[in-house]
Chains A and B, each alone.
Chain A
Amino acid sequence: MTERTLLLGNGPLASGIAKTLLSGNIPVMLATPDTAISVSIDTLVPLFETCTETRVTHCTGSAGNFQVVLSGPHGFTSLPFTSIVIAEDAVHSPLFSSYRLSPCPAVLSLSEIRNLLRESSHTSKKNGQEAAKVHETKPCLQPPAPCPLNTLSAGKTAVFIVGLAAESYPHLLETAMDICLMLRSTGMNTMILTRNLKVGASGMEALYRQTREAGVAYVKFSDALPSFHQEPAGNVCISFVDEITQLPFTIDADLTVVDEAVSPSPYVKDLSRILYLDTDTSGFLQSDNIHRLSVFTNRKGILAAGASRGVLSPSAQQSEIQATAVTLLSLIKGTLTTPGIKAEIRTGACVRCLTCFRLCPYHAIILNAKPFVISDACERCGMCAAECPAKAIRIEDLRTQTISERLKPIPIQGGGAASFPFLVAFCCSRSAGRAKELATASGSNLPQRMTIIEVPCSGAISVEHIMAAFKLQADGVLVFTCHEGNCHSEKGNILAARRTAHLKTVLKQIGIDPNRLVLKTLAANMAAEFVETACAFEKQIADAGPIKN
């Protein structure tokens, strides 16, 4: 193996992934905009190279053959990589302003107090005192000594705000709980104010009980939130009416700890643009599409792990190390390649309108002198072929001509009434195709004369395909797509819906009832709905009678 994987990140996750890949003899180059490498790997490992103050600025090519332009302290370099793994950290922004609080020694963010306590516990360890074992991600349960803050002493009150202004995350609550336990052991009063207690993570309910027993007080809010009044000295006066007892409370907090919003870093946002990666609504490098699980992006050969793909706890990120390595290894072994005939752009016919380039969800079409399909990156969704205005793109087995041969009506003995109605159902093979299989396996009866055409994605079902069905005497055509947000190609189902809507107006114009063309969204496990839709459609067409010319 001569080519490397480019690993972007500089935290524990990037470190774990680097170690795992290196132990599998996969060469890695780690690049980070940071000024120093915090990844703890012997950089003398011959397969490992690092570069600091380095960003990705451009990328061409595809899986197995990326050419990446890196900008570093010594200018630009263009290097080849087989794959790219993004393992950047997320940004934690304190929500001070959401509560109209100003940061000061008496008002800290969750990260600030955690780091302070971690430092002080490290110091106490160095001082030769008996120290509890220091966990990598959690502060130790040793009282901080010497205490860096005069607010942290017996009898004082610390209030933690977690998930009041916006819903929070289990791992932030866990941090607050751990710190509360530590402060309780020094004799402080601790209180957590929240809306929904996010205990939906490993060991959290038990930890919650433990903190309750240790005397950590919890106040939950549903509608009315507490009011915060910050004194000139910085300390905060918190007043609220407790929802259970209906009693008013006022708390003078010596220390107020505010939780944080978690968002992708500006660099991650840049990467989504440079690498043509789909994002979710928050900007993390993975759309909310189950086909991207666990660490896939819309581009083959580019993986997004941990806090690059969403909000994940440090422990959940640990699980991503091996999962990322497995996916990468499979990529390199070529066992993730989509088989079958790929899209092809016919020389001479292409007018370079770039429709295909803009449409391809996998970024499998590149622009040289003319658009060109990278075969390995093509997933056969067929969107480009169906949308190409010049009809210059084809996927051989999805051509109208090829499909038409499969559209011949199933001959019925005797013909006549039994041969009517003849239906055609175009099915995305990922969803309706599987639903049909489940329906058949469970012995459901489907319409007698319904020809099923499975396509890799409903985005491949072109206007010509549907019209060919009508030309070949179909009495009705069904188009089954995945639900919006569930399309493996992100928008194949949306394009199919658009084409169907357009064709309905065309059918009307040429005197065919537009209800003879029906689009239905379906999931792979919706066998009952597949049968119901098909049978209802058969009845509808039977009642309507044959198409009159």
Chain B
Amino acid sequence: MNPATKQILVIGGGISGLSAAVDLARLGLAVILVEHSASLGGHAAHLSCKAADRCVACGACMVEEKIREADTHDAVQIFLNTRIEKIDRHNRFDVTLNQNGQCRHVSVDAVLLATGFTPFHPVNKPYGYGRFENVMTNLELDQMMRRNGAIKRPSDDEFPGNMAFIQCVGSRDSSLGHLWCSKICCGAALRMARCIQHRQPEVKATFFYIDVQNFGKNFQTYYADAQQKVQLIRSIPADVLKTADDRLKLSYFDPDTHAYQESVFDMVILSIGLMPSESTRDLAAMLNIDMAGYSFEQKSALLRPPDGVFIAGTALEPMGIAESTLSAGKAAGDIFHYLKNHDTDIR
């Protein structure tokens, strides 16, 4: 195989797509990277650094490096604001790209879906999201920190005195049929709580959870630190109500006293789950992949896609930044192996 004659379409410019594009380019393959939004980086590009006095290996800064690597590599061609209009499978894939209404045809030897996840929309949960300004998702909290370098209450721009972090909003929820753990939220919320406390030492943080999941290499150290500095309550609150003085009242079953309990907070942060994305379904349909039963509950048909189609990152299942880069590396290896054994040059 002459790698330079091979072209791969990577759909999705998030951490997995970027990472795979760079890995493929380094193997000498030509890459077309398509991103439907106006910028690269996906969800990770909106996350904030969670370092307290030292790096806590959240990985959020990695996306900047990946963007630079993809941007500066000659073999990676990037199309922003671009959607996939049509994919025709002959021996190769004939793909119609639509960039802001302008269509363009490309022919590729393999397709990688790195279409990511959709964040759970918590509007139907009894936590007042969308009604109370100071109830935010973890993603919105990260964006606020990234933009302003500090956390303030959206309703009055005041610094919060205490904050509640509610885990498993939309994950591990049999009433919604979401039988999966989103994996990244425990680490993200506890790191974020400690990061905020480092910058705003007056903040008291309370973490409502079912089970604390492992994160990172030094999980024990981070967890021990969180146990010291964050109030950990093994309970999922029943509801959130606004008080007369614009604070938020949480009611929950307190595992220590075995009684109904109410606590008042300045801000409530919902750790929303990772959900399968519509783009994955739409693109899979174009590629004639049977998507019946596609969910994060079990590894689905997506793990055995048709020849020439590959999948990486959170399109497969919930995973963090580190695991996404690994997943991208695996996909790049699979693609390289496939191209070596499938001569698609002959049409």
Residues of A within 8 A of B (CB): 20, 23-24, 166-167, 169-170, 196-206, 209, 220, 222, 243-244, 246, 280-282, 284, 286, 288-290, 293-295, 310, 316, 319-323, 325-327, 329-330, 333, 335-336, 430-431, 434, 438, 482-486, 521, 523-529, 532
Do B298 and A528 touch across chains, with their CB atoms under 8 A apart? no
Which among B47, B56, B213, B325 has the greatest number of chain A C-beta atoms within 10 A?
Answer: B213
Report the stretch among B58-66, B263-271, B280-288 that lies at the interface: B58-66
B86: Cβ under 8 A from any A Cβ: no
Do A294 and B326 touch across chains, with their CB atoms under 8 A apart? yes
> How many A-B residue pairs lie within 8 Å, measured between CB atoms?
186
| Cβ distance A186 to chain B, nearest Cβ, rounded Å | 25
Interface size on B, residues (CB 8 A): 68
B117: Cβ under 8 A from any A Cβ: no
Choose one: B25, B213, B340; the contact of A196 (CB below 8 Å): B213
| Cβ distance B39 to chain A, nearest Cβ, rounded Å | 10
| Cβ distance A443 to chain B, nearest Cβ, rounded Å | 13
Q: How far is the CA of A320 from the CA of B334 in the complex (A)?
A: 11
Query: Nearest 5 pairs between A and B by C-beta?
Result: A322-B333, A323-B329, A200-B213, A486-B55, A523-B49
Q: How far is the CA of A486 from the CA of B62 in the complex (A)?
A: 10
Do A525 and B57 touch across chains, with their CB atoms under 8 A apart? no
Q: Which single residue of chain A is at the shortest CB-CB distance from B145?
A: A528
Q: Which single residue of chain A is at the shortest CB-CB distance from B295?
A: A206
A482 proximity list for chain B (CB < 8 A): 55
Do A201 and B183 touch across chains, with their CB atoms under 8 A apart? yes
B214: Cβ under 8 A from any A Cβ: yes
B255 proximity list for chain A (CB < 8 A): 222, 243-244
Q: How far is the CA of A321 from the CA of B336 in the complex (A)?
A: 13
Do B214 and A169 touch across chains, with their CB atoms under 8 A apart? yes
A327 proximity list for chain B (CB < 8 A): 329
Do A322 and B337 touch across chains, with their CB atoms under 8 A apart? yes
Residues of B within 8 A of A (CB): 23, 25-28, 45, 47-49, 51, 53-57, 59-65, 68, 146-149, 171-172, 174, 179-181, 183, 186, 210-214, 216-221, 223, 234, 255, 258, 297-299, 317, 322-323, 325-327, 329-334, 336-337, 340
Do B48 and A525 touch across chains, with their CB atoms under 8 A apart? yes
Q: How far is the CA of A280 from the CA of B216 in the complex (A)?
A: 11
Q: How far is the CA of A432 from the CA of B61 in the complex (A)?
A: 11
Do B213 and A198 touch across chains, with their CB atoms under 8 A apart? yes
A-B contact pairs, 16 of them (CB 8 A): A20-B333, A205-B180, A293-B322, A319-B329, A323-B330, A323-B332, A323-B333, A326-B23, A326-B26, A336-B26, A431-B61, A483-B49, A483-B54, A485-B54, A523-B49, A524-B64
Choose one: B27, B171, B172; the contact of A326 (CB below 8 Å): B27
Q: How far is the CA of A232 from the CA of B183 in the complex (A)?
A: 42
Do B329 and A438 touch across chains, with their CB atoms under 8 A apart? no
Q: How far is the CA of A527 from the CA of B147 in the complex (A)?
A: 8
Do B297 and A205 touch across chains, with their CB atoms under 8 A apart? yes
Do B57 and A485 touch across chains, with their CB atoms under 8 A apart? yes
Do A199 and B297 touch across chains, with their CB atoms under 8 A apart? no
Q: Which single residue of chain B is at the shortest CB-CB distance from A284?
A: B217
B55 proximity list for chain A (CB < 8 A): 289-290, 482-486, 523
Q: A205-B180, A280-B218, A486-B61 are in contact. Are A525 and B49 (CB under 8 A)?
A: yes
Do B297 and A203 touch across chains, with their CB atoms under 8 A apart? yes
Do B147 and A528 touch across chains, with their CB atoms under 8 A apart? yes
Choose one: B53, B181, B333; the contact of A199 (CB below 8 Å): B181
Do A333 and B325 touch across chains, with their CB atoms under 8 A apart? no
Q: A326-B23, A525-B63 are in contact. Are A199 and B211 (CB under 8 A)?
A: yes
Q: How far is the CA of A199 from the CA of B218 in the complex (A)?
A: 18
A220 proximity list for chain B (CB < 8 A): 211, 234
Do A204 and B181 touch across chains, with their CB atoms under 8 A apart? yes
A200 proximity list for chain B (CB < 8 A): 181, 183, 186, 213-214
Q: How far is the CA of A282 from the CA of B31 in the complex (A)?
A: 39
Q: How far is the CA of A209 from the CA of B181 in the complex (A)?
A: 12
B331 proximity list for chain A (CB < 8 A): 322
A205 proximity list for chain B (CB < 8 A): 171-172, 179-181, 297
Q: How far is the CA of A202 from the CA of B234 in the complex (A)?
A: 23
Q: How far is the CA of A284 from the CA of B180 in the complex (A)?
A: 29
Do B326 and A293 touch across chains, with their CB atoms under 8 A apart? yes
B28 proximity list for chain A (CB < 8 A): 333, 335
Do B27 and A329 touch across chains, with their CB atoms under 8 A apart? yes
Do B60 and A322 touch across chains, with their CB atoms under 8 A apart? no
Do A524 and B61 touch across chains, with their CB atoms under 8 A apart? yes
Choose one: A169, A322, A431; the contact of B330 (CB below 8 Å): A322
Q: Which single residue of chain A is at the shortest CB-CB distance from B298?
A: A203
Q: How far is the CA of A335 from the CA of B331 in the complex (A)?
A: 18
A319 proximity list for chain B (CB < 8 A): 326-327, 329-330
Choose one: A244, A288, A528; the contact of B148 (CB below 8 Å): A528
| Cβ distance B23 to chain A, nearest Cβ, rounded Å | 5
Q: How far is the CA of A335 from the CA of B76 in the complex (A)?
A: 14
Q: Which single residue of chain B is at the shortest CB-CB distance from A243?
A: B255
Q: A288-B217, A294-B322, A322-B329 are in contact. Are A222 and B183 (CB under 8 A)?
A: no
Q: Which single residue of chain B is at the shortest CB-CB distance from A319?
A: B330
B333 proximity list for chain A (CB < 8 A): 20, 321-323, 325-326
